[in-house]
Amino acid sequence: MSSQAVPSSAAHGHAHGFRHEALLYSGPDEFLAGTLAFIEQGLEADEPALVVVGADKIRRLRRKLGADSDRVHFADMAHIGLNPARIIPAWREFVDEHSGPGRRLRGIGEPIWAGRSPAELIECQRHESLLNLAFADAEGFRLLCPYDVDALAPEVIEEAHRSHPVLVEAAGAERESTDFRSVEIVAAPFAAPLPEPPEPAPERAFQAGTLNDLRGFVAEHAAAAGLSQPRSYDLVLAVNEVATNSVRHGGGHGRLRMWVDGEIVISEVRDDGHIDLPLVGRERPAAGQIGGHGLWLVNQLCELVQIRSFPTGSVVRLHMHR
């Protein structure tokens, strides 16, 4: 992990493109100092701003901003970012609604906090990298992502160096990250390893003619795991969509495994296909669009979706809380 100072003019030279910054702060006071300066700078320039952080931080920011807080949009990251794959669509909605010729936008998003599970953390880090791809052409959009260096593990901060081209200290000093991962690397199939279930999990093979049987298998295991009826139905629908993708695009067949990990029901679909669309499931399908609905729907139904594409095939894991 390394970084180097960049001239202020260069650091601010992203006015016509997407600028993705990591704010490395230590504790609540530095969080406020770093984010308030960013927000107030935007308010002075009359730039629309959306702040997506935890509810407690929103309260503190509102108190500090006073009447100006009405000029800033706020959203609770615990809600929007419960499934990190839902965050990019939220930013997209903000950008589409407020962007215009020559207009600059500001955002603050803190998807990573100390309470994230290991599985959530990896998906959040993937989300942070995908932002660079999703908004590469977003004119004048500046996004600041706070990282609490006291609360987060050093390797999490190291990954922030790889997913953000610019690093900012709470006092305002800016550096260019020399570890920044290029969008070409981000666009490659994501093949981070997935842990095996703690014990052998019930498994069912499927193909086009057995999707009905597969749905019954999911419903049975969802009920046995204690999911409510509506949640069971959501899971049946989600697994069906992933399995349908396997039938259509993944070699015509696949295998489903289901198990419970603590309070989470995990469903895993494996097939022989390859997923080479890095933003799949993170872009709201346009009206009249053919295709692209399946993984979008799955992301709306599940608390976490892990998509992997290995040389041997693809894996999609769905997490649903009991």
Partner 1 sequence: MSLLSAFGAAAKPDATLAAMERAGLTLAGEIDLIAAPGVGARLEHEVTGDRDVVVDAREVSFIDITGCRTLVEAAPAPAARPADARGGRPPRARPAHGLCGWTQEDRLMRVSEADSPGKDRIR
Residues that bind partner 1 (CB under 8 A): 208-209, 211-212, 215-216, 219-220, 223, 229, 232-234, 236-237, 240-241, 244, 247-248, 284-285, 287, 290, 293-294, 296-297, 300-301
b (16+ CB within 10 A) / e for 56-72: ebbebbeeebeeebeeb
Report CA Rg, the chain: 21
Q: Which amino acid is at 255?
A: R
Residue 37: other Cβ atoms inside 10 A: 16
Q: Could you tell me which residues are beta bridge partners of residue 50?
A: 73, 107
- Report in angstroms how near the CB of residue 99 gets to partner 1 at its nearest: 21
Q: Are 83 and 305 in contact (CB under 8 A)?
A: yes
List the one residue out of 192, 239, 246 whose CA is nearest residue 218. 239
Cα(74)–Cα(108) distance, integer angstroms: 9
Cα(221)–Cα(21) distance, integer angstroms: 43
Report the residue number, 32 or 219, with the smaller CB distance to partner 1. Answer: 219
Report the residue number, 22 or 301, with the smaller CB distance to partner 1. Answer: 301
- Report in angstroms how near the CB of residue 229 gets to partner 1 at its nearest: 5
Report the residue number, 197 or 292, with the smaller CB distance to partner 1. Answer: 292
- Report in angstroms how near the CB of residue 221 gets to partner 1 at its nearest: 11
Report the residue number, 101 or 209, with the smaller CB distance to partner 1. Answer: 209
Plot region of 191 (φ>0 → left; ψ -120 to 50 → alpha; else → beta):
alpha
Q: Which amino acid is at 313?
A: G
- Report in angstroms how near the CB of residue 133 gets to partner 1 at its nearest: 23
Report the residue number, 29 or 97, with the smaller CB distance to partner 1. Answer: 97
Residue with tokens 């390394």: 2
52 SS3 class:
strand
- Report in angstroms how near the CB of residue 286 gets to partner 1 at its nearest: 8
- Report in angstroms how near the CB of residue 238 gets to partner 1 at its nearest: 9
- Report in angstroms how near the CB of residue 230 gets to partner 1 at its nearest: 9
- Report in angstroms how near the CB of residue 233 gets to partner 1 at its nearest: 6
b (16+ CB within 10 A) / e for 134-150: bbeebbbbbbbbbbbbe
- CA distances in angstroms from 216 to 28, 106, 232, 302, 305, listed in the order given: 49, 47, 11, 19, 21
Report the residue number, 154 or 291, with the smaller CB distance to partner 1. Answer: 291
Report the residue number, 37 or 237, with the smaller CB distance to partner 1. Answer: 237
Cα(265)–Cα(254) distance, integer angstroms: 19
- Report in angstroms how near the CB of residue 128 gets to partner 1 at its nearest: 25
Residue 157: phi and psi, rounded to 5, are -70, -40
Report the residue number, 80 or 194, with the smaller CB distance to partner 1. Answer: 80
Report the residue number, 86 or 162, with the smaller CB distance to partner 1. Answer: 86
